[in-house]
């Protein structure tokens, strides 16, 4: 069983479109995250949710809206996609200790 799973793995779309990435964890963790990894492999935290409540929003444009329907799910919706949004997006979860990552969603905005 995959501990942290995110879909889709690849997402290719046009500028201006709206898209969503879904994430689910079956580890029973209270905290979930979204990270963005750019072409230089730099991993930057975007959001952190604890028990469905937003804890961190790290200077992310408001075109990005996370939604946590329950503590096992944290989805990321992106409005009006821009070229600079192209990156790999990772979902992760933790319970005070190490982070467990999903396999990533490679977003390409054309």
Partner 1 sequence: GESVGLHLPTLSVQEGDNSIINCAYSNSASDYFIWYKQESGKGPQFIIDIRSNMDKRQGQRVTVLLNKTVKHLSLQIAATQPGDSAVYFCAERSNTGNQFYFGTGTSLTVIP
Out of 13, 27, 56, 77, the residue judged to bind partner 1 by CB under 8 A: 56
Q: Kindly identify the residues of this chain, within the stretch 70-109, that bind partner 1 according to CB under 8 A.
A: 90, 92, 94, 96-104
Distance spanning both ends of the chain, measured CA to CA: 34
List CB contacts of 29: < 8 A, sequence separation 6 or more.
71, 93, 94, 95, 100
Out of 1, 14, 28, 41, the residue judged to bind partner 1 by CB under 8 A: 41
Q: Do 107 and 18 form a contact (C-beta atoms < 8 A)?
A: no
Q: Which stretch binds partner 1 (CB under 8 A): 16-24, 42-50, 61-69, 77-85?
A: 42-50
Nearest to 47 by CA among 76, 5, 11, 9: 76
Would you tell me which residues interact with partner 1 (CB under 8 A)?
Answer: 4, 31, 33, 35, 38, 40-45, 48, 50, 55-56, 90, 92, 94, 96-104
């Amino acid at each position: 069983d995959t501990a942290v799973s995110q879909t889709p793995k690849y997402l290719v779309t046009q500028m201006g479109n709206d898209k969503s990435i879904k994430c689910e964890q079956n580890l029973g963790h209270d905290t979930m995250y979204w990270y963005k990894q750019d072409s230089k492999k730099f991993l930057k935290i975007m959001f952190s949710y604890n028990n469905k409540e937003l804890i961190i929003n790290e200077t992310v444009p408001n075109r990005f809206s996370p939604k946590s329907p329950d503590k096992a799910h944290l989805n990321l919706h992106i409005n009006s996609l821009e070229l600079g949004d192209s990156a790999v997006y990772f979902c992760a979860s933790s319970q005070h200790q190490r982070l467990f990552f999903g396999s990533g969603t490679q977003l390409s905005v054309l």
